Structure 1
Amino acid sequence: MSTTATVVTVIAALMAGFSGYAVLTGARWVLDSLAQLQVPRTWWTRLGLAKSAGAVGLLVGLFVPVIGLLAAIGLILYFTGAVITVIRAHAYPHVAFPLLYMAPVVAALALGFPA
């Protein structure tokens, strides 16, 4: 794995981890968005855990590439679902946010986890 791939993977993990942490700790700006998007409250903890697990998986993937590959795929699916949720809620100005979090994961997958 190249230095670039390592740096991008760490950035992707930090961003996903921060996003998961924000949900799990009840950051008002995140919870308000989830409520506005009509995401059921019973899902919030699981969503935060999924993002956090994906972040950990990306970091583990630096040493065990198959774990990183699976984590990247999982996070891409997660953020794709987030984009769909935003579109379904007609909150179009917010589409950029899940795409922003997905971009470094896609880059990490492209750079460092060969299939």
Structure 2
Amino acid sequence: MFIAHAVVAALLALAATGSAFMTFTKNPQVVGSMTKAGVPEGMLPLLATAKAAGALGPLAGLLVAPLGVAAAVGLVLYFAGAAVAHLRVKDYEPAPAAVLTLIAAAALVLRTTSA
């Protein structure tokens, strides 16, 4: 079970790092998506920092279980909130946020069930 957790944690860290990088560099697709969801452009650095910090957590959680649980919970809440924000403004393209929510939830379940 630990190997499955390590694989999912690495996938989550990679996905969150990519998302943070695209937000930091103001990728037009990411900025457009966040603008559609009603996120002010001034919030992008803060959100990118949150994603970058969240990317480190699952990997650190391989050594310190409570840290991995906290990071996974934070990322589940972050990406679920992003999906809800898109749906709230009738932007029915929340797939990236929904997929990242599911990956973070899988990491959370695997972290809490692995030794």
TM-score (norm 1): 0.92
For residue 80 of structure 1, report the CA deviation from its aligned partner.
1.4
Q: Deviations over 1:60-93 (max 9, x none)?
A: 111111111100111111011101110111011x
After TM superposition, list the pairs within 5 Å mapping 1:29-44 onto structure 2: 29-44=29-44
CA distance in 2, matches of 1:38, 1:3: 39
Matching residue of 2:102 = 103
CA distance in 2, matches of 1:37, 1:105: 21
CA distance in 2, matches of 1:106, 1:24: 24
For residue 106 of structure 1, report the CA deviation from its aligned partner.
0.7
* Length, aligned pairs only: 113
CA distance in 1, matches of 2:50, 2:24: 10
For residue 28 of structure 1, report the CA deviation from its aligned partner.
1.3
Unaligned runs of 5+ in 1: none
For residue 42 of structure 1, report the CA deviation from its aligned partner.
1.6
Task: Kindly provide the amino acid, as one letter, of the partner of residue 61 in structure 1.
Answer: G
Runs of 4+ in structure 1 off by over 2 angstroms are none
For residue 113 of structure 1, report the CA deviation from its aligned partner.
3.0
CA distance in 2, matches of 1:2, 1:72: 15
Unaligned runs of 5+ in 2: none
User: What secondary structure, in the 3-state scheme, does the structure 1 residue paired with 2:46 have?
Assistant: helix
For residue 34 of structure 1, report the CA deviation from its aligned partner.
1.2
CA distance in 1, matches of 2:13, 2:31: 21
For residue 112 of structure 1, report the CA deviation from its aligned partner.
1.8
Matching residue of 1:8 = 8
- Name the Cα RMSD after superposition: 1.2
TM-score (norm 2): 0.92
